[in-house]
Amino acid sequence: MKRIFSVLLSYITLSCIISLQALASPEDVAPSTTPSAIQASVEVATTQANSALSKLVQQLPGTKLKKMPQMVEKLANTRNKKTRDILQFLMDGDLYYLKAEKTVVRAISIENGRYALTNALSDEILAPVKKSKLRKVKTNNQLRGDIRSYIAKIDLTDEDKNVRMDAVKQLLDNPSKSGLLAVQELVTQEQDKDVRELMNTTLLLNQLKTGDHAQKMAAITQLQDTLEPAVNNTMVKMLAALPEKNKTPAQKALAKSLTKVINAIDDKRNFFGVVENIFFGLSLGSVLLLAAIGLAITFGVMGVINMAHGEMMMLGAYTTYVIQLAFPHLIEYSLLMAVPAAFLVSGFVGIIIERGVIRYLKGRPLETLLATFGISLILQQLVRTIFSPLNRQVQAPEWMTGSWVINPVFSLTYNRLYIIIFSLMVFFTLLLILKKSALGLHVRAVSQNRDMARALSIKSDWVDAITFGLGSGIAGVAGVVLSQLTNVGPNLGQAYIIDSFLVVVFGGVGNLWGTLVAAMSLGSINKFLEPAVGSVLANIIVLVGLVLFIQKRPKGLFPQKGRAAD
């Protein structure tokens, strides 16, 4: 028992130290520190280019339309970080100059004919003016086409891999001639493998659209492994465009290879669709697992029914909210702090409930149910009174956002991924505690034969309180996770309590592994039903299915056998 506490204590201390350090020197831990330093040095180096750009820009008001192409080319060659913006403004037709001062500005129409201005070079905000004070820097369609390709080229040669990737993707979905030319030019120099591959795909797709028969056939063969939606769409369109009857031999061959590749791509997409569903199912399952696992201890192992279990989760979620409120500049670390804090808050409340109410109702499950339901009402109302009945927004730290893109049709969002991992960690920790630690032994002893355990000088009261605290604390931890998925409000727990009970009963009461299997399979079933029937109906079907299952097999998936179980 001591061991667990020391582990717990060290965890808490650790997270406290981290947060204290963070408090002392926030800029040390701010993730943007290093990049910003680099940026500064880059700025110094580009001052020269900057002045070249500003000279050119200042010439813009005097440049005739005929001379503009050369002007734009010069502009594009300045390689300044403002260059792209100015070209973009020019292409969008937002670039003006003030008639009086000849200052080049970006002007955006606001109300009653007035324009909001920013200096095109310095981004300085100027006072809004009437249209009559402004004159547009002239462009025409051809010029805009040029600009587009210059911009594409700038993006395609950007230092950031992601910008290049996005630029190629843009071209893949909306190809432009100039862009494609740029890609053709750059593909050989491209260092990054992913970007190069995507560039190739773009070129091949173009070849497929515009090439002669042999080129088309070659492109199809080379494109058969790609999963880009644009490729698939183009192929489907091409196949549809072929005449139904009286195909020429060339068309026949084309149709055949197109069909083959489209089917292959479809198979792959379907496969990844299933994988994605499994992932979603596991992610929902791990939420259910987290919600149910505390209950698996209090209800499953101790046999105490706690209807306020959902409110323990709610308290955990609100703990996260409070921590983010208290340390607004430490959002990145808020979850790390919230996990132990929520465990302590919910665990503490759990112990109070056990000592104050539940222990007087031992052996009277229905009364326990009612009393704890009363407690859940009180806790909900308490939160409503303190925090208002409205939902509270809990922020997601940077590292929880975004997703891990495995291929164009399959990506895993980080928050779901972390939640799956986290819930399994909690599960196994708990399993370890119950199976290996002294506390676990005492808990099992007390739940199986209270009098005998007491005779062996196990303090059954104390064990009860600690176990209940443990179960409630884990509910609190689940609440931290839920705060990342749903709105944090007074009714947060209500939505999960019935599901959690059903998971525990479905898995077989008193069987932690059963709870794991039950949670994961219910999550998956739900997610596989969802596309077919919609989420509400999927929920209802799962609920009704569970009720029917429990009526058929009241002891769940993995019942405990033997005379004691009768």
Q: Which is nearer to another protein, 163 or 369 (CB)?
A: 369
Closest to another protein by CB, 278 or 550: 550
Take residue 549 and report the two structure tokens written for it.
Answer: 């299952």
Closer CB to another protein, 4 or 304, in the complex: 304
CB 307 → another protein: shortest distance, Å? 8
Interface residues toward another protein, by CB under 8 A: 305, 357, 360-361, 365-371, 373-378, 380-382, 384-385, 494, 498, 501-502, 505, 536-537, 539-540, 543-544, 546-548, 550-554, 561-563, 566
Backbone angles phi, psi at 555, to 5 degrees: -100, 10
Closest approach of another protein to the CB of residue 547, in Å = 5
Cβ proximity of 294 and 512 under 8 Å: no
Of 102, 190, 178, nearest in space to 143 by CA: 178
Going by the DSSP 8-state scheme, the letter that residue 176 receives in this structure is -
Nearer to another protein, 110 or 548 (CB): 548
Q: How far is the CB of 560 from another protein (least distance, A)?
A: 9
| Complete DSSP assignment for 43-65 | HHHTHHHHHHHHHHHHHGGG--G
Instruction: Please report how the helices 249-295 and 309-326 are oriented relative to each other, as an axis angle in degrees rounded to 10.
Output: 100
Q: Which is nearer to another protein, 438 or 548 (CB)?
A: 548
Q: Phi/psi zone of residue 561: left (φ > 0), alpha (ψ -120 to 50 degrees), beta? A: beta
Phi (first) and psi of residue 114, to 5 degrees: -95, 155
Of 47, 46, 149, the closest CA to residue 91 belongs to: 149
Half-sphere exposure of 467 (CA within 13 A, CB side): 31
Question: CA–CA separation, 518 vs 521, rounded Å?
Answer: 5
In whole angstroms, the minimum distance from the beta carbon of 319 to another protein comes to 21
User: Taking the complex as a whole, how short is the minimal distance between the CB of residue 534 and another protein, in angstroms?
Assistant: 9
Q: Which is nearer to another protein, 193 or 563 (CB)?
A: 563
Number of Cβ within 10 Å of residue 348's Cβ equals: 15
Task: Give the span between the Cα atoms of 180 and 435, in whole angstroms.
Answer: 63
Nearer to another protein, 108 or 357 (CB): 357
- Shortest Å distance, C-beta 373 to another protein: 6
Q: How far apart are CA 385 and CA 90, in angstroms?
A: 55
